[in-house]
Amino acid sequence: MSNQSKGILYTLITVLMWGVLAIALKIASKEIDSPTIVWFRFSLAFSGMAIWMAIKNPKAFQIMYKPSWLIVLSSLALAWNYIAFMFGVQFTSPSNAQVAIQSGPVLLAVFGIFFFKEKISGIQIAGFLLAIIGFWIFYRQHVGAVPEGQEGQYTKGMLITLTGAVAWAIYAALQKKLIMNYSVATLNVFIFGLPVLIFLPFVNFQNLAHLSFGYWALLVFLGANTLISYGYLSLALKYLEAGKVSIIIVLNPIITFTLMGILTWLQVSWIDGEHFSVLSILGALVALTGAILVVRKKRSLNP
């Protein structure tokens, strides 16, 4: 298998993990409160990473004793991204939250222009405009379809999700700086570890004690999802250009849309169905197209 094929395969695994994530979070939220879910995700991810690093590189734990403020800020940003996305899924729906969170890569491009002095192209400007138009169409269609009296909750969920997208953009921008001095694995030990302490006071352990086997299995999947998705993302970036990886990843809401469409059609009892209009789907596609144009890098003329 060629390096490019490996990169595409690893990226698709990440896309699949993130595509089903919102649906799994929505199901879990029926029995488990949001802070507990997020805490468990970070706890399992940190435990897995800590065991791996203890075997492979014990010196990596030195970062826990005296981290730089950039690492702390990066961890706080990812922590807010997780809880904001969780609340977004809870207050709206998996598909809604997935589309809104895709503004993260768009915002990262904005940060790149202002803070990293990256040049902006005409295609990227068109992408910004398409993303804004698409997000607005999608929002207007869905807020008009929610039951009467729940419009405020829907809007709150979307706004919280957007703050999560901002947090992710901050996290990703800081990673660009930090990766110059630390390995990804070393960074993740701290970045996954700090949120475990942050969310600990809000964990409902009594709730966890009375969960069924099915919900425990779901929690384990959610924790493993973090390790698998970020692990394969790191491998993907090793074998494939970051621009190509970003373009493929932006498409992960399509998996969420497809699965939610099937579940809505099947009328399953364990997750609420979603309303998809032609305009809402069009808005989502326009927004995703805009996001792809924003993250797309111009090809170099050099071989």
Q: How confident is the model at residue 300 (pLDDT cuts 50, 70, 90)?
A: very low
Most confident segment among 149-153, 232-236, 290-294: 290-294
In a domain, 54, yes or no: yes
Residue 243 lies in a domain: yes
**Domain count across the chain:** 1
Calculate the average pLDDT of the chain: 87
- Give the tens place of pLDDT for each residue, 20-53: 999 999 999 999 999 999 999 999 999 988 898 8
The SS3 call for residue 29 is coil
Residue 302: inside a domain? no
Which pLDDT score, from 0 to 100, does residue 301 have? 34
Residue range 217-234, pLDDT digits in tens = 999 999 999 888 888 887
For residue 246, what pLDDT is reported?
A: 76
For the segment 119-141, the average pLDDT, to the nearest whole number, is 87
Q: What is the DSSP string of 184-209?
A: HHHHHHHHHHHHHHHHGGG--HHHHH
Residues 6+ apart with CB under 8 A from 251: 15, 288, 292
C-alpha distance across the termini of the chain, in Å? 22
Task: Flag whether pLDDT at 115 surpasses 80.
Answer: no
* Token pair belonging to 278: 């032609």
* Residue at 245 is within a domain: yes
pLDDT of residue 242: 67
Single pTM value for the model: 0.88
Is residue 213 within 8 A of residue 221, CB to CB? The reply is: no
pLDDT for position 299: 43
Place of tokens 């969920």: 157
Is residue 13 within 8 A of residue 232, CB to CB? The reply is: yes
Residue 301 belongs to a domain: no
Sequence-distant (6+) residues with CB within 8 A of 221 are: 24
Flag whether pLDDT at 151 surpasses 50: yes
Q: Would residue 251 count as lying in a domain?
A: yes
Domain that holds residue 181: 3-295
Q: How confident is the model at residue 183 (pLDDT cuts 50, 70, 90)?
A: confident
Give pLDDT, residue 36: 97
222 in a structural domain = yes
At 147 the pLDDT is 67
* Greater model confidence, 33 or 235: 33
Residue 124 has pLDDT above 60, yes or no: yes
Percentages of the chain per state (helix, strand, coil), in multiples of 5: 80, 0, 20
**Band of the pLDDT at 212, cuts 50, 70, 90?**
very high
Res 297: pLDDT = 60
Whole-number CA gyration radius for the chain: 19
Is position 303 within any domain?
no
